[in-house]
Amino acid sequence: MVVETSHKDLAAIQAEYDKLYREAPIRDEDRAYAWIAQQLRKTVPNASSILDVACGGGYFLRELQCVYGTGVSFTGIDLSNEALVLACKECPVATYQLSPAETMPFAAGTFDAVTCLGSLEHFLNIQQALAEVRRVADERCHHADQQRDPCTMRNARCDVSPEHVGAEQELIEWPGERSSDHLEGIVGIQDGRSHGKQDDAAEDRHADQGA
């Protein structure tokens, strides 16, 4: 289940996510989190500070910590306090902040890797959230996003960072079964501040479904 965010204010959305995380926390398969963490480790082997935006119950941060080990600073932000209560138990080595993605409480250039799994398309202001990702990212930061619906993100990509459209990047498709809503999209681990181009096959599939 995902909370519908259109036509709602921040407090209402926060209350719904708190209720959801108390009753039925949103999470993917552990093997999926582990696989994505391994891909990030391959791309950014020397990361020293990693931010997970909309970290939920901390399941992905837990896998990142397993993959990277010691010597890395892990941070998670989420809109839901109930989610962060779970996250503190799942990955106690990380630091957590209660915050929407659109207004992150970090200094510019803080992180050298930023992740956001299955949440970007649900933010109240996608372009503002992406601008915040760019702001808190180091100049050489890598950004990994896992998209439930790549078509939803098409305009946000082009509008937020047109100077990086077509920049060199690596698109990595999840090799497992696509039984989970969170894994219908493509995982992109992108160099610098680019925000990717579509996987053509995925875009065609969504276009066919909408026809």
In terms of DSSP bridges, do strands 49-53 and 187-190 run parallel, antiparallel, or are they unpaired? unpaired
Q: What is the pLDDT of residues 71-97, one digit of tens each?
A: 999 999 999 999 999 999 999 999 999
Residue pair 199/173 in contact by the 8 Å Cβ criterion: yes
User: For residues 81 and 9, which has the higher predicted lDDT (pLDDT)?
Assistant: 81
φ and ψ of 102, to 5 deg: -75, -20
Q: Of 67, 73, 80, nearest to 27 (Cα)?
A: 80
Q: Of 146, 148, 131, 198, nearest to 169 (Cα)?
A: 198
pLDDT bracket for residue 57 (50, 70, 90): very high
pLDDT attached to residue 165: 28
Eight-class DSSP state of 191: S
User: For residues 10 and 148, which has the higher predicted lDDT (pLDDT)?
Assistant: 10
User: For residues 164 and 42, which has the higher predicted lDDT (pLDDT)?
Assistant: 42
- Cβ-based neighbours of 89, under 8 Å, separated by 6 or more: 58
pLDDT at 3 over 70: no
Does this model's pTM top 0.85? My answer is no
Distance CA 57, CA 60 (A): 8
Q: What is the pLDDT of residues 101-128, one digit of tens each?
A: 999 999 999 998 999 998 888 898 999 9
Burial 57-82 (b: 16+ CB within 10 A, else e): bbbbbbbbbebbeeebbbbbbbbbeb
pLDDT at 148 over 90: no
User: Mean pLDDT throughout 198-203?
Assistant: 37
Q: What is the pLDDT of residues 178-199, one digit of tens each?
A: 433 333 333 344 444 333 333 3
**Averaged confidence pLDDT in the chain:** 74
The first and second tokens of residue 122, run together, are 């649900």
Distances (CA, A) of 157 to 19, 87, 175: 31, 29, 24
Q: Of 57, 58, 44, 68, nearest to 18 (Cα)?
A: 57
